[in-house]
Amino acid sequence: MHISHRQHFFDHLAQTSDFPLALEIEKAEGVYMYGPDGKSYMDLISGIGVSNVGHRHPKVLEAIHAQLDKHMHLLVYGEYVQSAQVQLAKALADTLRLEAPNPSPFGLIDNVYFTNSGTEAVEGAMKLAKRFTRRREFISCYNAYHGATQGALSLAGAEFFKRNFRPLLPGVKHIQHGYLPDLEKITGQTAAVIIEVIGGESGVRVPEADYLVALRRKCTETGTLLILDEIQTGFGRTGSFWAFEQYGIYPDILLSAKGMGGGMPIGAFMASQQIMKVLKTNPILGHITTFGGHPVSCAASLAALRVTIDERLSEAAIAKGELFKNLLNHPEIKEIRGKGLMLAAEMESFEKLKATIDQCIELGVVTDWFLFCDNSMRIAPPLTITEAQIREACATIIKVLNS
Ligand SMILES: Cc1ncc(COP(=O)(O)O)c(C=O)c1O
């Protein structure tokens, strides 16, 4: 007989809100998750941008098994030559051998520092930027989310999330994503601007092409590092392997996590050797981690990277995103924003959206809203979703909207 874990979940798992979704999931495969009773749920949010290649992609599983048969953890980050790490670092560098009309003054990104999570990638990048520029000031966007540790939290625009955790890092200024006049705030004092190519938790905000070009230029002019947080947008999500490829710019530091692991935990901050080498001296061990770049996560990540490229998932995401936009044409949906399979469907109010989401989940389609945008439905399914599955998901959403 199946024993429900529900009570233990509430009694023993630390809670971060009084209203967790509390859906019991026992198994997941492709775009579907399954409850203990066998009920299936189509995953339209990919565990918040993680399962880009779908749940339990066979190539990812194969790579994990093969790595388990070789070794797991050996030593803290960066000491031994481990093939899983090295192959992944090389493969990531290969994705970054790109010519951009608006390049980085520091050359191509060819160095990868592996972390355990997105927020740790942000922390590492902030330390790297301070150490490299010898400046202390950071600029990030209002309504951006870069993670929950204290450095990353300092970058958040929302006072609501920061107030009771102060003191945080001083010297953080904010700009409005996509708003050209705010670029004047970037000066010779600024160590780095950290920004998402497409604002995620602000509700999928796609900037005009000239905005990112102007930002790149302003950073170069003022000697400020441009850190692109592609933790949500990377690994094929928006129609190219990295979202910045669509904007003719190139970052100084690039961040990845989430979809990078194919379902395993891993993140990275990446830069050219010229920048990254400062972590070696003064002090030695400028950033260290025990588990960063865990070999099993690296093996999974390399498989996910290859699947994304070999199965042309980012290219396919463009047409799939368009199909969602066409099928979700309904008077209750005011606007659909986004690129590829990173979409937000805006409704009139949170109340209307929440009622819609609750009924969709009831009918086996999981979606949610955004941290800083509670009137828009998150649509970010695995990139492997088929046309038939998109039609099925949209039919459910439309059915709920018509009810
Ligand atoms: C853009 C962005 N940056 C950073 C993070 C933090 O990543 P993690 O939750 O792995 O620490 C997130 C997580 O949602 C994110 O969306």
Q: Whose CA is nearest to atom 10 of ligand 1?
A: 118
**Cα gap 232→200, rounded to integer Å:** 7
Higher pLDDT, 7 or 134: 134
What is the spatial distance between Cα 251 and Cα 109, in angstroms, rounded to a whole number?
8
Q: Which of 323, 278, 299, 314 is nearest to 133 (CA)?
A: 278
Atom 2 of ligand 1 has which residue's CA nearest to it?
146
257 Cα nearest atom in ligand 1: 10
In which region does residue 20 sit, left (phi positive, over 0), alpha (psi from -120 to 50) or beta (all else)? beta
The ligand 1 atom at the shortest distance from the C-alpha of residue 230 is 1
Which atom of ligand 1 is found nearest the CA of 144? 1
Provide the pLDDT confidence category of residue 5 given band limits of 50, 70 and 90.
confident
Q: Please compute the mean of the pLDDT values over residues 356-361 and round it to a whole number.
A: 97
CA of 399 from ligand 1 middle (Å) equals 32
- Mean pLDDT to the nearest integer, 176-198: 98
Atom of ligand 1 nearest to the CA of 117: 10
DSSP element (H, E) containing 40: strand 40-43
Ligand 1 mutation target, pool 153, 204, 231, most atoms within 8 A of CB: 231
How many angstroms separate the CA atoms of 345 and 334, rounded? 7
What is the pTM (predicted TM-score) of this model? 0.97
Which domains, ranges and CATH numbers included, belong to the chain? 5-56+312-402 (3.90.1150.10), 64-310 (3.40.640.10)
250-281 residue pLDDT tens: 999 999 999 999 999 999 999 999 999 999 99
Q: Which of 119, 254, 256, 297 to mutate to test the pocket of ligand 1 (most atoms within 8 A of CB)?
A: 119
Ligand 1 binding site (Cβ under 6 Å of any ligand atom): 48, 117-119, 122, 145-147, 196, 200-201, 229, 231-232, 257
Residue of 38, 33, 53, 29 lying closest to 2 (CA atoms): 38
Cα 138 to Cα 194: distance, rounded to the nearest angstrom: 7
Q: Which of 143, 232, 266 has the most ligand 1 atoms within 8 A of CB, as the residue to mutate? A: 232
| pLDDT at residue 1 in the model | 41
Q: How confident is the model at residue 4 (pLDDT cuts 50, 70, 90)?
A: confident
Pocket test for ligand 1, best of 146, 153, 195, 342 (most atoms within 8 A of CB): 146
Give pLDDT tens digits for 37-75. 999 999 999 999 999 999 999 999 999 999 999 999 999
Closest CA to 403 of 354, 355, 337, 365: 355
Contact 106, 121 (CB under 8 A): no
User: Per-residue pLDDT tens for 217-228?
Assistant: 999 999 999 999
Residue 200 CA to ligand 1 centre (angstroms): 9
The residue contributing the CA closest to ligand 1 atom 13 is 147
Whole-number pLDDT of residue 3: 56
| Ligand 1 atom showing the smallest separation from residue 148 Cα | 11
Angle between helices 387-402 and 350-362 (to 10 degrees): 120
Taking CA atoms only, the protein residue closest to ligand 1 atom 3 is 146
CA 258/CA 236 separation, integer angstroms: 12
